[in-house]
Amino acid sequence: MISELATHEVERGTFARQGYLIEPGLLDILEAEELAAELDTWVEARHGVNGAGLEWHPAAGPPADLSDRLAALPGDPRLTEPAAGLLGGPVRAVACRALVRPPRVAARWRQECALYRPTPRHLLCVALALEDAIEETGCMLVLPRSHRDGMFFHAQVEGEWCADASRPSLTPGHIGHAIALPAGGAAFFDGLLLHATTINRTARRFCQLQIDYLLDGVTDLR
């Protein structure tokens, strides 16, 4: 259960070693389906069929056209309690993103900490699947334990921040571990963990939600 992520030393140890933890049943399926429809409506209104990611910052308040339930997710105890347990103290949400993957597109390798300064070690991210995230739709890829390698150099390629592909752990022989999530599932991952996505091989866009948390008192200087 998700509460165990916040309280069990074994789970915290696994997160510290691997850089991520999976919770397949954070939301029930009906709730996830309803939230997916609300997110899709918002993305469609904002960016159209093949839009890139959309972001908002809880401290500044949610966008006026965002549904109340989506706006409330960053403060949901099902997310904040395990985040606090894994980071070791009270947390606050600093960014929420609708990650939109058009057909035949994949996300490149990157670390979320590349978007933050000056203390990226305190960042925890939650990838929340509102519909089934499988390899065919563009699910998350991770390089387990890569958060221990520190910060990689990042550059913008075709408008997307990505890690330096010349580093050994990003060579073709290291294709990463695919994380398939059912609708309502979540991946909690360290902001330094190298991650990407598989190619969306379907004919429609795929959306999921990501929420980033920092320890209270840590300055966010994007």
pLDDT value of residue 221: 54
pTM value is 0.88
| DSSP secondary structure code for residue 110 in this structure | B
| DSSP secondary structure code for residue 167 in this structure | S
Could you give the CA distance from residue 61 to residue 176 in angstroms, rounded to a whole number?
36
Alpha helix segments (H runs only) across the chain: 2-7, 9-18, 29-47, 68-72, 77-87
pLDDT value of residue 222: 54
Residue type, 93: A
Could you give the CA distance from residue 212 to residue 73 in angstroms, rounded to a whole number?
12
pLDDT value of residue 22: 94
What domains lie within the chain, and their CATH numbers? 2-215 (2.60.120.620)
CB neighbours of 219 closer than 8 A, spacing ≥ 6? 118, 119
pLDDT value of residue 39: 92
Instruction: Look at residue 152 and give its three-state secondary structure.
Output: coil
pLDDT value of residue 51: 46
Write out the H or E segment, with its range, that includes residue 55. strand 54-56
- Could you read off the pLDDT of 153-209 as tens digits, one per residue? 888 777 777 887 656 555 544 568 999 999 999 999 999 999 998 888 999 888 889
Write out the H or E segment, with its range, that includes residue 79. helix 77-87
pLDDT value of residue 121: 67
How does pLDDT run along the chain (222 residues), one tens digit per residue?
Answer: 444 555 567 688 889 999 999 999 999 999 999 999 999 899 888 865 444 458 888 888 888 889 999 999 999 999 999 999 999 889 999 999 998 888 888 888 899 988 876 555 679 999 999 999 999 988 999 999 999 988 888 887 777 778 876 565 555 445 689 999 999 999 999 999 999 988 889 998 888 899 999 988 776 555
